[in-house]
Amino acid sequence: MASSDSTPKGMITPAIFEHLQTKLDEDAQVREEIRNIVQAMERQDRTTMSILSRAHSIPQADLAGTLSEASESMNKQVEVIGKLKEVASKHPYYRYNSMWSREMQNASFAVVLWAWLHSHMSDHNGQKGELFTIEEVGKILQVPVSLKTQDVFHMTIEEYLLSLISLIEELARLAVNSVTLGDYHRPLEISRFVKDLHAGFQVLNLKNDSLRRRSDSIKYNVKKIEDVVYDLSLRNLVP
Amino acid sequence: MAGIKHPRPDDETAEPPTPVSPFMAVFETFRSELDEHHDRRERIVKASRDITALSKKTIFSLQRVRQLQAPIPPAVSDEISAYQSKITELFTSVAPDLQDLNAWRYQNQISPGIQEYMEAVSFQHYLETRRLISYEAAQAKIPGGISLTEDDYVLGLFDLVGELMRFAITGMATGGALPRGGGEGGDLLTDLRQLRAGFEGLDGAGKRAQGKMDVMRSCVEKVEGAVYGMIVRGRERPKGWVMDVGEERRGEVESY
């Protein structure tokens, strides 16, 4: 019973709202700090993507310079992610995850796209390393991946899978542009690769979330690539 | 490359392409992880929903209490402890899903239940002690080591104001006066104004709190209006007159 409680007026101990204000201030500060880093990630990502998008207008054989330039930009991104990792690790991972999740997807997308292009360079043999696994992406970005219980900074499988959907979208565009570049072989490689990925996505039981919504685009992109292959084979242009 | 087949893939009906995708094993791992995630999320959503319903029932029962700052009467107490034990069971059942990394992962799913529970817990605490429950005491009320976020705590307190309004108005209608505790200083309206000032003083409260701010203010003002009405015209009212809380009138009912 609080009748003998010392605070004379009313129900509220001032400490209650003071505590809340302290927590709100701390939270605002953390968000500010993370927001700044995420903005830096956005900038770096735009740089990387503008380099990688040259692949649409440069023949596969001449991509080496582009890839190494992109690689430098990605290394800078790894440094920024390092900062994010440092700040984010002080807090429960999922508390602020939504602030950077999009940028982690983009960073992963840059890596898997780079890897795909790189694996199709002439000095590379065949299908090896076509798809970077989540572990390989994590190694490049220097973050742990797919943790189940340990509460530290990492890349989630959702982020990785979403980046693969972006990859499919990008490759569909590349299939079209390959033909423009006079490369009739690459659409076939893209077709095979994307079909394999599509088959992978089909085994997932997707619920109503962002992964589900975005994965709807896969089938349209598969079809778009099929159309390119169909057009080529109809005209006997398939090498 | 004669092997390329011309017919378009028929996305849903067709069997997976004949050569098994080299990525299948990886995706099967993803599948089982995503399945676990969805199952957990569903369990939590369900528990949260049930906790919300039981908390609402608790609040209804508590609204039958007339005496502020006194032990809850046995009839009400029996009801709410039955609800409480079910709530404890539900929290405990999802506690393993809300540990470590997952404590914040499913925050959006468990949050509605926790908020409603906070409303019930803080209301009961107020009725018994005429004090606002502290964050620490509130956290201690959540079973299973599930953590209480400051957000859920505050949002629960916002809704407490609505319950206090109902309690005040019913008290005035049935007892002819604002409920006041046995202790020193002020009555329920004093408390409500203090709460309002506390909320309004918070700087940087989130969007959800901002959304509740107006409702909270109008609740306090309804009680202010009712007290005013009671003082000005109260003596003219027939005995047993009950104010209509549901509608937006502010007790400006004319005497007969």
* Residue A187 in tokens: 């659409």
Asked if A219 has any chain B CB less than 8 Å from its own CB, the reply is yes
The alpha-carbon gap from A47 to the nearest alpha carbon of chain B, in Å, equals 30
Which residues in chain B touch residue A24, judged by CB atoms under 8 angstroms apart?
150, 202-205
CATH number of the A18-234 domain: 1.20.58.2140
Chain B residues in contact with A219 by the CB 8 A cut-off are 11
ipTM for the predicted complex comes to 0.90
Question: Model confidence over A113-125: pLDDT tens digits?
Answer: 999 999 998 666 5
A5 touches chain B (CB under 8 A): yes
What does the pLDDT read at residue B175?
83
Could you give the CA distance from residue A161 to residue B26 in angstroms, rounded to a whole number? 11
pLDDT band at A4, cuts 50/70/90?
very low
Identify whether the C-beta of residue B190 lies closer than 8 Å to the C-beta of residue A10: yes
How close A228 comes to chain B (CA, Å)? 11
Task: Work out the average pLDDT over A216-237.
Answer: 95
DSSP string, A143-203: --B--SS--S--B-HHHHHHHHHHHHHHHHHHHHHHHHTT--SHHHHHHHHHHHHHHHHHT
**Cα distance between residue B139 and residue B153, in whole Å:** 9
Residues 48-107 of B with CB under 8 A from A: 69, 99-105, 107
- Asked if A203 lies within 8 A of B100 by C-beta distance, the reply is no
Nearest-Cα distance to chain A for B208, in Å, is 13
Confidence of residue B183 (pLDDT cuts 50, 70, 90): low
Alpha carbon separation from A133 to A66, A83, B55 (Å, rounded): 23, 24, 46
Q: Do A196 and B203 touch (CB under 8 A)?
A: no
What's the confidence (pLDDT) of residue A125? 59
Task: Return the structure tokens found at B230.
Answer: 């009671």
Q: Tokens for A128?
A: 């090896």
Strand partners, A184: none
The tokens for A186 are 């690459």
pLDDT of B124 over the 90 cut? yes
Token pair, residue A210, equals 């962002």
In this predicted structure, the answer to whether residue A55 has a pLDDT above a threshold of 80 is yes
- Residue A149 — very low, low, confident or very high, per pLDDT cuts 50/70/90? confident
pLDDT at A53: 97
CB within 8 A of A85, min separation 6: which ones?
A142, A143, A153
A98 touches chain B (CB under 8 A): no
In this predicted structure, the answer to whether residue B2 has a pLDDT above a threshold of 50 is no
Full DSSP string of B191-228: HHHHHHHHHHH-SS--HHHHHHHHHHHHHHHHHHHHHH
Closest CA to A158 of A77, A202, A101: A101
Domain boundaries along the sequence of chain A: 18-234
Token duo for residue B132: 């606002």
First-to-last C-alpha distance (Å) of chain B: 96
A6 to chain B, any CB pair closer than 8 A? The answer is: no
CB B184 within 8 A of CB B144: no
* pLDDT of res. B41: 96
The Cα–Cα gap between B65 and B68 comes to 8
Q: What is the distance between the alpha carbons of residues B186 and A9, in angstroms, rounded to a whole number?
A: 7
Give the pLDDT confidence of B60-96 residue by residue, as tens digits. Answer: 999 999 999 999 999 999 999 999 999 999 999 999 9
Which amino acid makes up residue B235?
Answer: R
Would you call B38 and A205 a contact, using CB atoms and an 8 Å cutoff?
A: yes
Question: Most A CBs within 10 Å: which of B42, B72, B97, B101, as the mutation test of the A interface?
Answer: B101
- B3 in reach of chain A (CB within 8 A): no
Q: How many CB atoms lie within 10 A of CB B37?
A: 19
- Dist. CA A26–CA A67, nearest whole Å: 42
**Predicted local confidence at residue B207, as pLDDT:** 87
Strand partners, A80: none
Whether B190 sits inside 8 A of A9 (CB atoms) is yes
Q: How far does Cα A99 stand from its chain's mean position?
A: 14
CA count, 13 A, side-chain hemisphere, B1? 20
Does any CB of chain B come closer than 8 Å to the CB of residue A236?
Answer: no
User: Which H or E element spans position B119?
Assistant: helix B107-129
Instruction: Give the gap in angstroms from C-alpha A155 to the nearest C-alpha of chain B.
Output: 13
User: Does domain B27-236 fall into CATH 1.20.58.2140?
Assistant: yes
Written as one letter, the residue type at A195 is K
Which pLDDT band, with edges at 50, 70 and 90, does B7 fall under?
Answer: very low
Q: Where are the domains of chain B?
A: 27-236
3-state secondary structure of B115: helix
Question: Which 3 state secondary structure label does DSSP give A210?
Answer: helix
Q: Look at residue A127 in the predicted model and tell me its pLDDT.
A: 59
Q: Which two tokens stand for residue A1?
A: 């019973």
Nearest to A151 among B101, B186, B194 (CB): B101
Distance between CA atoms of residues A92 and B39, nearest Å: 22
Distance CA B55, CA B118 (A): 8
